[in-house]
């Protein structure tokens, strides 16, 4: 009897040791240095501001009479926070809202502007007090490129052509004269234009063949005048794995009329049962990570189609909507899509940004949905209060990759196992900036196991290494208005860097960025 108990205990010890040994197996990451490596476009780190819930009104825009400190009605704390992120572009006014928005309703005297009912998001009535001038002036203040989504669903060709002229034309014309009457002498020079949004759904429920023809009709009348290099036209692209949509657009739209094709993918486990924003379990978390990892497959397969029709890679892939999507926070308007932002969102952000970086040859822009108070927001507000989310901190940590040269990597990721399924636990991307600083970003989605890695960095000639880590005790942890700094990056020194060899263990569900200098 005693012998059987002893053998059982010994078996448990051996099994436990075996599991630990497997978890602690070192992952060797190899540099695939190449003189032809692409630049990681800063526009991969773009953002999205739709007229949805409290993103614009009560988010960005409080009005110039508000007691909250503001610049022309836009909150100064939000401006400062987004400047810190160095956001390269901002997409507006939608989203689904774009194809119901008539831009001329948002210019001129405030008391003469018509109202609009936001039929997509909550059925609220908006007064059009935030319009073209507000948005484009905000982008100037942020140092960000505006990305305007044109109304193709319910707007006409002339309406979009007039918007282009209003924002861009320097000379004398009906629209440039109107712009001057409204207080803006010089044009803004808007380069990035989306030709409708989700034309397969809320943008008109079109077939791809029909949309391709509509696209060509609209862009024919959009003048390239007064924008260096011409305007950059982005077609409404596929949802998720609708590869036929990409095929039809690439086949039917001439390359001289097309600079980018969009792709939308959200990390949502079930559109009918999205799961809670905070009180989720590991089963929900694993399913969310599975959907997030799908971004890799989608980019690979959509770009393979693009390669078939565009061997010279003249057309870019634009992932202009991505992020986590859950049930709204308890007690909030279902149409406002307000959700909290936990360590799960940090995992989504770190994983997807690594994926985008590693596909920088085709992915030239991406827009996290959305900037303030909507979906995977980087900023949340409550009246005069404002907090920065874990996603904000990941974007801030990763901004070092903007316009840096990609350093391709290769490795076999350890697996995050759960309930007889498994996913790669680790995503990594690396780059070298104009000052020869090297940055390596790691995201480990495993809930229990740290991931030891080893990298030979000798060929980069680095002499010193520093680090920043975003982590927390629980996946469900988040910053609240009562505890706004619960999750924020911390200095990280728990690594070995000697004779060009880096050894470090990435903690469970964490994001780590290391910086190496010569």
CA distance 230 to 498: 49
H or E element at residue 142: helix 132-142
Pairing mode, strands 426-432 and 405-406 = antiparallel
Q: Retrieve residue 404's tokens.
A: 């840096």
Nearest Cα to Cα of residue 342 among 109, 509, 518: 509
CA distance 494 to 506: 10
Whether residue 126 lies in the annotated active site: no
Whether residue 198 lies in the annotated active site: yes
Name the catalytic one among 126, 145, 198, 291: 198
From residue 227, how far is each of 189, 212, 224 by CA, in Å? 6, 24, 6
> How deeply is 140 buried, as exposed, middle or buried, from its count of CB atoms within 10 A (0-12, 13-18, 19+)?
exposed
Q: Which residues contact residue 321 at a Cβ distance below 8 angstroms, ignoring those fewer than 6 apart?
A: 48, 95, 262, 264, 265, 266, 367, 369
Pairing mode, strands 260-267 and 232-239 = parallel
Name the catalytic one among 321, 330, 488, 503: 321
> How deeply is 487 buried, as exposed, middle or buried, from its count of CB atoms within 10 A (0-12, 13-18, 19+)?
buried
Long-range pairs for 14-21 at CB < 8 Å and ≥24 separation?
none
CA distance 238 to 320: 11
Residues that are catalytic: 198, 321
């Amino acid at each position: 009897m005693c012998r059987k108990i002893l053998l059982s205990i010994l078996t448990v010890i051996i099994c436990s040791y075996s599991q630990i040994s497997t978890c602690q197996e070192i992952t060797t990451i190899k540099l695939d240095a190449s003189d032809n490596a692409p630049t990681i476009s800063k526009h991969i780190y773009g953002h999205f501001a739709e007229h949805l819930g409290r993103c614009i009104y009560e988010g960005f825009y409080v009005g110039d009479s508000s007691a909250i400190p503001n610049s022309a009605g836009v909150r100064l704390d939000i401006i400062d926070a987004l400047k810190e992120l160095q956001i390269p572009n901002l997409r507006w006014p939608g989203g689904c809202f774009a194809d119901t928005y008539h831009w001329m309703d948002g210019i001129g005297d405030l008391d003469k502007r018509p109202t609009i009912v936001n039929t997509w998001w909550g059925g609220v009535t908006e007064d059009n007090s935030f319009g073209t001038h507000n948005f484009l002036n905000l982008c100037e203040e942020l140092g960000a490129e505006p990305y305007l989504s044109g109304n193709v669903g319910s707007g006409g060709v002339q309406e979009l052509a007039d918007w282009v002229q209003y924002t861009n034309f320097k000379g004398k014309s009906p629209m440039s004269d109107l712009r001057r009457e409204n207080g803006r002498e010089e044009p803004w020079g808007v380069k990035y234009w989306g030709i409708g949004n989700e034309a397969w759904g809320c943008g008109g429920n079109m077939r791809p063949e029909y949309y391709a023809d509509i696209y060509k009709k609209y862009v024919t009348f959009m003048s390239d005048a007064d924008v260096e290099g011409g305007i950059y036209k982005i077609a409404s692209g596929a949802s998720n794995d609708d590869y036929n949509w990409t095929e039809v657009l690439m086949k039917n739209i001439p390359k001289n009329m097309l600079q980018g094709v969009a792709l939308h993918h959200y990390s949502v486990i079930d559109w009918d049962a999205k799961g809670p924003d905070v009180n989720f379990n590991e089963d929900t978390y694993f399913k969310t990570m599975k959907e997030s990892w799908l971004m890799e497959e989608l980019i690979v397969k959509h770009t393979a189609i693009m390669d078939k029709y565009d061997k010279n890679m003249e057309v870019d892939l634009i992932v202009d909507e991505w992020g986590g999507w859950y049930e709204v926070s308890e007690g909030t308007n279902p149409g406002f899509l307000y959700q909290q932002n936990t360590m799960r969102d940090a995992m989504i952000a770190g994983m997807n940004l690594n994926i985008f970086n590693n596909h920088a040859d085709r992915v030239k822009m991406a827009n996290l949905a959305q900037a303030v108070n909507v979906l995977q927001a980087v900023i949340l507000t409550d009246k005069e209060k404002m907090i920065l989310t874990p996603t904000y901190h990941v974007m801030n940590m990763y901004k070092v990759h903007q316009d840096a040269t990609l350093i391709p990597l290769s490795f076999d990721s350890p697996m995050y196992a759960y309930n007889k399924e498994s996913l790669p636990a680790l995503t990594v991307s690396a780059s070298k900036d104009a000052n020869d600083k090297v940055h390596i970003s790691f995201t480990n989605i495993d809930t229990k196991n740290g991931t030891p890695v080893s990298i030979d960095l000798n060929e980069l000639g680095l002499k010193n290494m520093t680090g920043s880590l975003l982590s927390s005790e629980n996946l469900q942890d988040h910053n609240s208005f009562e505890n706004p700094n619960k999750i924020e990056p911390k200095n990280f020194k728990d690594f070995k860097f000697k004779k060009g060899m880096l050894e470090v263990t990435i903690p469970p569900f964490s994001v780590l960025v290391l910086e190496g200098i010569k």
